């Protein structure tokens, strides 16, 4: 590798290291126990089982959709979404998280901060 290519790689490394922390993708959180908790609130075991199946289906769909577009979420988004529900009633559901992150990403798309044209979310 010539010295020109080495300089380009070094410059790219410096630019990447200077990239704002808020622009880095966040890690997709792992939520457990939400659907079990929801099903325990049912009046009888049959309703609890149905509530668990419905919850699990919704959670799996939301998690899959979040995972497909998670690169658009930032650490800053996760901080905001964590504060969104407060400490007592924090977000523990992928469906709730998807709503919060979708609002924040949508705001960045409309403001022109990120380009979202042509990407079906």
The Cα–Cα gap between 5 and 27 comes to 32
Q: Quote the pTM value.
A: 0.68
Question: What would the pLDDT profile of 54-92 be if each residue is shown by its tens digit?
Answer: 999 999 999 999 998 888 888 888 888 877 554 455 778
Closest to 35 measured CA to CA, from 10, 11, 59 = 59
Backbone angles phi, psi at 117, to 5 degrees: -65, 130
List pLDDT tens digits, range 29-63.
888 888 998 889 888 999 999 999 999 999 999 99
């Amino acid at each position: 590798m010539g010295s020109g290519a080495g300089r380009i790689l070094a410059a790219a490394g410096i630019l990447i290291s200077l990239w704002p922390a808020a622009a880095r993708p966040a890690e997709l959180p792992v939520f457990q126990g939400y659907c079990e908790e929801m099903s325990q609130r049912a009046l009888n075991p049959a309703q609890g089982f149905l509530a668990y199946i419905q919850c699990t289906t919704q959670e799996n769909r939301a998690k899959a959709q979040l995972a497909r577009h998670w690169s658009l979420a930032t650490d800053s988004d996760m901080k905001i979404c964590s504060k969104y529900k407060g400490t007592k009633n924090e977000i523990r559901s992928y469906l709730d998280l998807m709503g919060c992150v979708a609002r924040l990403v949508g705001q960045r798309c409309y403001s022109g901060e990120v380009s979202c044209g042509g990407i079906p979310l």
